[in-house]
Amino acid sequence: MQEWSLSYRLGKGLRRLFRDKSGVMAFVGFAILLTYLIMAIFAPYLAPYDPVRRSGKAFSAPSKEHWFGTTNLGYDVLSRIIYGAKIALKIAFLAVAVAAAIGIPLGLISGYVGGAFDRILSMFMDAIYSFPGLILAIAIAAVLGPGVINVALSIAVIYAPTYFRVIRNQVASLKDQLFVEAARAMGARNFSILGRYILPNVLPSVIVVLSMNLADAIMTEAGLSFLGLGISPPTPDWGYDLSNGQRFLLLNYWWMILFPGLAIITIVLGFSLFSEGLNEFLNPNVGETRR
């Protein structure tokens, strides 16, 4: 039938997507993210030069050969940004995955079991949450030392409580819902109640937190690298490039700092737009109250 053809459905889906501004927001965010994702995956093919090898004169301004100029060591800035996307996304995804893997199960159990266990765990998580994120990450990163995994872990520690709190609060209200009670009355195992009745009902808000945290994780990673606690140079990393570039800013080598900065801003913007749009998609009543 005509109505079920792929192009028809695609067109209908797109029309629905662009019906209000949240759809446009999500789409723009998604486009930005997709661009960075492609850059990260196909970095070796896209980058004009090796990012850690001298490819021209040091401090050359943006030109035909070097679109974004070169660094103090003669590295190509554009290539470093393309390869930097790889590091940034890798750390962000790893950190968020670890944070979710800690926060979600703990939140589920804590909210479901309740009582003293819940109170102690919540207190512990709130204690972590109350630290300014970057400062805690600096402390942990300083102990663990640099490296992709270590940076990801120290970022994960900051964001685990976010998942925990979101999940725990929702579970605490969901577990009194009639369908959970009905499942219990039908003899369902606790494990199955958590996995099949409660988790799927909290998942929409987890996905939103997830995409929001990715943006934060990239900022934190850049911050750590800026402070020299992230990835060891000369690995291409936006945060490191920023801190390296600011040393030469007074000499008017603006391209060394402008382009990595723009990269961080746009990717964070991409994640924020995407998560905001997603949020209004998944929780439509959020938009209603704002109007």
Partner 1 sequence: MLLELKNLMVSYKTREGRVLAVDKVSLPVEEKKTLGLVGESGCGKSTLGGAILGILPRETKITGKAIFNGTDLISMPSKELRFIRGKDISMIFQDPMTSLNPVMKLRDHFLETIFTHTKTSKEDAIAMAEQALKEVGISSNRLNDYPFQLSGGMRQRVMIALSLVLNPKLVIADEPTTSLDVIVQAQILQLLKGLQEKFKMAMILITHDLGVVAEAADDIGVMYGGHLVEYAPKFKLYKDPLHPYTKDLLASVPNTNIDDKELRFITGYPPNLMNPPQGCRYAERCSKAKEICKQKIPPDFYTDDGRLVKCWLYGEGEGK
Query: Of the two residues 41 and 181, which places its CB atom closer to partner 1 in the complex?
Result: 181
Shortest distance (Å) from residue 10 CB to partner 1: 24
Counting contacts by CB under 8 A, is residue 42 touching partner 1? no
Interface residue with partner 1 among 42, 181, 246, 247 (CB under 8 A) is 181
* Spatial separation of the C-alpha atoms in residues 126 and 136, rounded to whole Å: 13
Shortest distance (Å) from residue 192 CB to partner 1: 7
Cis peptide before 234 (omega within 30 of 0): yes
Shortest distance (Å) from residue 20 CB to partner 1: 22
Counting contacts by CB under 8 A, is residue 182 touching partner 1? yes
Counting contacts by CB under 8 A, is residue 191 touching partner 1? no
Give how many residues touch partner 1 by CB under 8 A.
Answer: 18
Counting contacts by CB under 8 A, is residue 250 touching partner 1? no
267-100-122 Cα angle (round to 5):
120
Is the Cα dihedral 246, 225, 266, 209 positive or negative? negative
Interface residue with partner 1 among 188, 207, 227, 282 (CB under 8 A) is 188
Query: Of the two residues 143 and 178, which places its CB atom closer to partner 1 in the complex?
Result: 178
Shortest distance (Å) from residue 172 CB to partner 1: 13
Query: Of the two residues 152 and 180, which places its CB atom closer to partner 1 in the complex?
Result: 180
What are the structure tokens assigned to 93, written together?
């995804």
Interface residue with partner 1 among 178, 252, 285, 290 (CB under 8 A) is 178
Counting contacts by CB under 8 A, is residue 183 touching partner 1? yes
* Spatial separation of the C-alpha atoms in residues 108 and 280, rounded to whole Å: 24
Interface residue with partner 1 among 200, 285, 288, 291 (CB under 8 A) is 200
Counting contacts by CB under 8 A, is residue 119 touching partner 1? no
8 A C-beta contact, residue 26 and residue 281: yes
Interface residue with partner 1 among 35, 72, 169, 201 (CB under 8 A) is 201
Counting contacts by CB under 8 A, is residue 197 touching partner 1? yes
Question: Which stretches of the chain bind partner 1, using CB under 8 A?
Answer: 115, 177-179, 181-189, 192, 196-197, 200-201
